[in-house]
Amino acid sequence: MTLNFDAIIIGAGQAGPALAERLCAAGMKVAVVERKHFGGTCVNTGCMPTKALVASAHAAHLARRAADFGVTLGGAVGIDMPAVKARKDRVTMTARGNIEKWLGGMAGCTVIRGHARFESAHELSVGEQRLTAPRIFINVGGRALRPPMPGIDRVRTLDNVSVLELDTVPGHLVIVGGSYIGLEFAQVWRRFGAPVTVVEKSPRLLGREDEEVSAAIQSILEAEGIAFRLGAECIAFEPQPDGRIAVGVDCRDGEPRVIGSHALLAVGRRPNTDELGLDKAGIAVDERGYIKVDEQLATSVPGVWALGDCNGRGAFTHTAYNDFEIVAANLLDGGSRRVTDRIDCYALFIDPPLGRVGTSEAQARQAGHRVRVGRRPMTRVGRAIEKSETQGLMKVVIDADSDAILGAAILGVGGDEAIHGLLAAMGAGQTAGDLARTVPIHPTVAELVPTVILGAKPD
């Protein structure tokens, strides 16, 4: 028996449920197919559980610093990891359950549990069922990459999913990968009490950031006791007789390997497209398995779109949700929105966080811009001083010819929030001069943005 729908959405991640609601409101008969957990990566193994851990780690960090604020505690700060994990699980389960209830109660929406595979361009199989629709939306997300490193099949490594299940503090956590996911986990587990070593193949952390931002982040984390082995050109794994794991680094300085109780791989992501039967539908993918889409997220097959991490056009919850907004506006509202309309923005949720928008100074110069750069250390930000959180810096990159704001970085307390003022200004097409003439609220971190702009100079 074949079930006919007006639209089928594969995956209940960030784009899927919201799109289902819009399509149903437009009078369509919609099927949402989910093989595992509602909410996708963000709710289950990404943003929400990890930021719940970040919050617990931050509480422990502040408790240890209580005396800095004139607060006395009755004894040493302890970590109850089963309780930390239970809190994290509650956050995830609540969000997951709410999404499932939302979809289950949505008029016009049929929720189907199982793994969807294409049988042809507009026909899917889910177990023994067959589903057809003139419109199909692929929203299947991605998962941790496990590259073929020497010895990796001889040891048990953690990834961003399995590390969330730990309810004890590792004796020594070795993290392979010095980028966003790896650094967030590094600080979390260090604050829970684990010795942490980060192994990174590149000569510095966060290769897409300016060198001064990268160096500042490394300095912040080193001050908390996190060790770094950079320039690790020959990463390899070897099991030890006592159950620990030796990670070979082959760096020029220091011991040639690091031995840890646990090893976490944080070296990238891959799309969940390999078991969808895309070849049967004629849907084109690139060499890494990402579904090829145009500016309006349409695939190579008419009537099929790809949203979220699986299309390679963004790797964040906010870009996945924006994919929904683009598709809904174009399909239902007569719009002509494009992926390239959005401004690149993201955050690194260490403490203090990094908020980023637009291009870095290095990227701007590589693109041929003449730039003016404004900087200010957080030691000269009143809000940071009042909170005794003076690590980091603010930086704004401006086109010297047009006065356009090209990008900014705020590494410091509230940086993940303060950056949105710059994002909004860029989205509205305001120049640096326009933003510099605003009157922000005191005392905040954002109030220093006009000051940074006014102090910008050619570098």
Establish whether 442 is a catalytic residue: yes
Please name every residue paired with 247 in a beta bridge, in sequence order, or none if there are none. 237, 258
How are beta strands 173-176 and 196-199 bridged, if at all?
A: parallel
DSSP 8-class letter at 404: B
Helix (H, G, I), strand (E, B) or coil at 420: helix
How are beta strands 142-144 and 269-271 bridged, if at all?
A: antiparallel
Alpha helices in 65-126 (DSSP H): 81-104
How far from 67 is each of 78, 132, 225, 278, 291, CA to CA, in Å?
A: 16, 64, 20, 59, 53
CA 377 to chain centre: 25
Who's near 293: CB < 8 A, 6+ residues apart? 299, 305, 306, 311, 313, 339
CA 85 to chain centre: 21
Phi, psi (degrees; rounded to nearest 5) at 138: -95, 120
Q: What is the DSSP string of 19-40?
A: HHHHHHHTT--EEEEESS-TTH
The Cα–Cα gap between 408 and 423 comes to 9
Residue 203 exposed, middle or buried by CB count within 10 Å (0-12, 13-18, 19+): exposed
Helix (H, G, I), strand (E, B) or coil at 459: coil
Who's near 230: CB < 8 A, 6+ residues apart? 178, 200, 202, 203, 204, 205, 251
Active-site choice (37, 61, 420, 442): 442
The Cα–Cα gap between 283 and 274 comes to 12
Residue 119 near residue 280 (C-beta atoms within 8 A): yes
Measuring CA to CA, which residue among 330, 297, 308 is closest to residue 26?
A: 330
How far from 129 is each of 28, 135, 273, 276, CA to CA, in Å?
A: 20, 18, 20, 15
User: The tokens 């990402």 sit on which residue?
Assistant: 290
H or E segment to which residue 373 belongs: strand 371-377
- Residues annotated as catalytic are 442
